Amino acid sequence: MADCVFCAIAAGELPADIVHSDDRVVAFRDLNPQAPLHVLVIPRLHRANAAELAATDPALVGDMVTAAHAVATGDGRAESGYRLIFNTGADAGQTVFHAHLHLLAGGRVGLTL
């Protein structure tokens, strides 16, 4: 999508602190971190949200979770735990309408569900 900031990051057209990249996903540090480790994992394929992504390419959702685990492991946070969050739609707090998975780790992260 021409005006999508995450598409531009995935294409290498905008700078980002990339911590993981493969042919299906890109992971980069969030510019406004909410935890000591806060990484966004995005598909290279543009889909507006997690529901649309799951409907069109469910295996890609798994690839995103696998990439998040690899990042958490590489950062030494996998064993102590991490949180994965998809926000789907404006009412859920989604502000960039390109599917993305938040990886949060480092101490007790946010609310307990």
Residues designated catalytic = 100
Report the distance separating Cα 108 and Cα 49, nearest Å.
27
β-sheet bridge partners, residue 18? 28
